Amino acid sequence: MRSIGRRRPAWRSLFAALVGITATASLGYAQEEPTEAQQQEYVKLATIVGAALQGQIVPTGEPFGWANDFLKSSDQTTFVPFTLSIERTKLSPPAAALYIFVAERGAKATAGADGSPTVLPMPVFEDAYNVDLGGANADGFYEVRRGFWAPAGDYDVYLALSESGVPDGTEAKNPMMLKKPLSVPDMWTNQLSTSTVILAERVESLAEPPPPEQQLSNPYTLGTMRIVPKGTLDYLTSEELSMVFLVYNPGLDANGMPDVIVEYAFNTRGVAGDEFFNVTDPQEFNAATLPPGFDMAAGHQLVAGQAVPLTAFPAADYRLEIKVTDNTNGASLIHNVDFTVSAS
C-alpha cells in the first residue's frame, strides 16, 4: 500500500472579482467543474470566512462537530482526513456547499494601503465542494468527510457550510462557520511514529482504489481498504472494537525488512485507577510474517489493527494500551484509546 499522495487540483479564483478581497491564492476544486450557482454559493461562504479573517466576525461555539485523524502523506506533508457532524435539523437535504481555508495559527487579513483591497493571508490549503448529505445517522446527524494536506505546524482551520441549491445563488441558506485550531504533527522524522488510531464502524474492501482525483472525497480510503470511522467511543457488548493505524519510519534489518511488534493490553478504568483486564495476540511485522515482495522502499506500509469482539467485556469504562516496539533499534511508543462498553 502506498502512502497517501498529494494531488494539486485545478485552480479557480473566487475572491478577487466577486468578494472584493485580494486573495493570495486561488481556490481549488477537487471535483467536477462546479455550476455557476454552485460557484456563487462558494463565494458567499468564502465571504463569511474572509470577514472572520478581517476580524469582522468572531466565531463562537461550534455549530457542527469536528473529528480528524493524521496520516503520513507525500511532499513532507501530513494528510488530515476529517468528519463533520451536522444536526439534521440544521440542514435540508440533499446537498450542502462546503468551503475550507487553512492558514497559519493567528493569521489575519491585512488592510490595504490607500484604499486598496484587503489582502488575505496565504492559505496552506483552500478548497470548496458540493457534497451529498445522504441520510442522517441513527443519532440524527449528517456526516460529511473530506481532507486536506499541510506541513507540520499550528493552524487555524476555517470551515463554512450551507445548504446547496439556492435558486439564484444570491444568499447562502443556513450558513454556518467553524474555526478550529489544529496542530499537525511531523511524520517525516527518522523516529518511529504512527498515524492516529482510527476507530472504525466498519472496514470495507474495494475492487480497486479510487482514482487520485477522488482522494479528497474518499479521505478514509487506503488503497483498496475503505474505513468508515466510528463517531462515538461508546460500544455495546454485541459490537466489536475495530481499529486501524499505520506504523511509520521503522528501522530495517540487514535484509532491508522491518521487525516491529504491536501489543494490545486492555484495562478497566475506575475511581481507584486502572486495573488490567486482558490482552489480545500481538501483531508481528517482520521477514517471516510480511508477504513476499514487501518493500518499504517501494512505498509499502505497515498496516496494524485488530477487530476485538466485546461479548466477553463487562459493562465498564476501558483503556486500551497499544505498544509499538521496533526490534531493530529498541525504539517504542504507546497509544492509549479510551472507550466504554454497555450491555446490549
- DSSP secondary structure, 249-273, as one string: S----TTS---EEEEEEEEEEETTE
Q: How confident is the model at residue 210, as a pLDDT? A: 86
Under 8 Å between Cβ of 29 and 46:
no
Query: Does position 116 have pLDDT exceeding 70, yes or no?
Result: no
Query: Does position 53 have pLDDT exceeding 80, yes or no?
Result: yes
Q: How confident is the model at residue 37, as a pLDDT? A: 84
For residues 154-179, give the mean pLDDT.
82
Q: How confident is the model at residue 313, as a pLDDT? A: 98
Q: What is the pTM of this model?
A: 0.88
Q: How many CB atoms are closer than 10 A to CB 32?
A: 9
Higher confidence at residue 110 or residue 342? 342
Higher confidence at residue 86 or residue 213? 86
Query: Does position 170 have pLDDT exceeding 80, yes or no?
Result: no
Query: Does position 112 have pLDDT exceeding 90, yes or no?
Result: no
User: For 123-159, what is each residue's pLDDT tens digit?
Assistant: 999 999 898 898 889 889 999 999 999 999 999 999 9
> Where along the chain do its domains lie?
10-184, 233-342
The x, y and z cell numbers of residue 68, run together, are 480528524
**What rounded mean pLDDT belongs to the chain?**
87
User: For 71-98, what is each residue's pLDDT tens digit?
Assistant: 999 889 999 999 999 999 998 888 899 9
User: For 14-51, what is each residue's pLDDT tens digit?
Assistant: 333 223 333 333 334 445 678 888 888 999 999 999 99
Q: Matching CATH topology for 10-184 and 233-342?
A: yes
Class assignment of domain 10-184? mainly beta
Q: How confident is the model at residue 31, as a pLDDT? A: 53
For residues 120-124, give the mean pLDDT.
90
Q: How confident is the model at residue 115, as a pLDDT? A: 61
For 35, residues 6+ apart whose C-beta sits below 8 A from its C-beta are none
Query: Which of 16-25, 138-147, 181-190, 262-271 is predicted with the least confidence, judged by mean pLDDT?
Result: 16-25
To which H or E segment does residue 202 belong?
strand 198-205
Q: Tell me 239's DSSP state.
A: S
User: Whole-angstrom Cα distance, residue 135 to residue 143?
Assistant: 9
Helix ranges (DSSP H) in the chain = 15-18, 36-53
**pLDDT level of residue 119 (50, 70, 90 thresholds):** confident
The x, y and z cell numbers of residue 320, run together, are 486500551
Distances (CA, A) of 74 to 11, 78, 324: 20, 7, 23
Q: Which CATH number fits domain 233-342: 2.60.120.280, 2.40.40.20, 3.40.50.1370, 2.60.40.10?
A: 2.60.40.10
Query: Does position 289 have pLDDT exceeding 70, yes or no?
Result: yes
The x, y and z cell numbers of residue 186, run together, are 511531523
